[in-house]
Amino acid sequence: MEFRPCIDIHNGKVKQLVGASVQDQDDTARENYVSGEGAAWFAGLFSQKNLKNGHVILLNSKDSPHYEQTRSQALEALNAYPGGLQIGGGITAENAREYLDAGASHVIVTSYVFQNGNISFENLSRLVDCVGRKKLVLDLSCRKKDGRYYIVTDRWQKYTRVSLSPDILTMLASFCDEFLIHGVDVEGTKNGVEEELIEMLGSWNQIPITYAGGIRSFEDIDKIRRAGNGKIHITVGSALDLYGGNLPFEQTVAYTQQDF
């Protein structure tokens, strides 16, 4: 298990948001925390701690008046920690190489691959041709509906018709290096993790998976460790004292690194 840091950028600022509340209309969201520090400051901290494979997420659409400010913050983070961070948010085959050249270790993609509710194998193949499988992370963040976890796109606002399953994971794993999976319904709530989702991920475990959503305690981390036999990596956001929560940053990092 690894601790994977996160830098979420919304309206040009580093924030922690309630995931299910993000709306493109008027760029609104329920905020848990808004930092006075820029994204580069957090990237520098993660570099000092040698925490690799964290993710920088742009949470504004390209049509937002805040998009360029958010993108500028993201590029500053990549510049502060070259090779140490992945980046997602509006990534396409046309711009992916630009972010890798700016210092990203991987690009993270959802909406470009899931078009009109389904998997676009044309776009997926285009991405792999552009950056290579080893530089691609597929974001399969999901929300529960009718008893199943459906992959969601466009800053978690739109349901696809693709439900997460071991078969889907196996099929998509041949195209990418890792998966990033937010349990969106608990993202930013600090109310505990999506245990059913974690058990599914833990029973699969073929390529690296980073889980995010609802982690609030070392007990939650233990649940993920047990379900994934220590192979599922984690991101802690709103619960971390770095983002206004109660979990001490350095202790949390150390806890994930212990052998059990």
Residue 26, pLDDT score? 78
- The pLDDT value given to residue 258: 86
Residue listed under structure tokens 């600022």: 13
Contact 212, 183 (CB under 8 A): yes
Residue with more model confidence, 259 or 17: 17
pLDDT in tens, 60-77: 999 999 999 999 999 999
Q: Can you give the pLDDT at residue 190?
A: 79
pLDDT at 19: 65
The pLDDT, as a whole number, for residue 39 is: 98
- Lowest-pLDDT range, 118-132, 181-195, 246-260? 181-195
pLDDT tier for residue 177 given thresholds of 50, 70 and 90:
very high
Give the pTM.
Answer: 0.94
- In 3D space, the residue among 193, 199, 196 whose CA is nearest the CA of residue 220 turns out to be 193
Average pLDDT in the chain: 93
- Widest CA span in the chain: 48
* Chain segment 146-159, per-residue pLDDT in tens: 999 999 998 888 99
Confidence category of residue 30, pLDDT binned at 50, 70, 90: confident
DSSP result, 112-142? TTEETTEE-HHHHHHHHHHH-GGGEEEE--E
Its sign, for the CA torsion 43, 218, 193, 170, is: positive
Cα(120)–Cα(41) distance, integer angstroms: 36
CA distance 250 to 242: 10
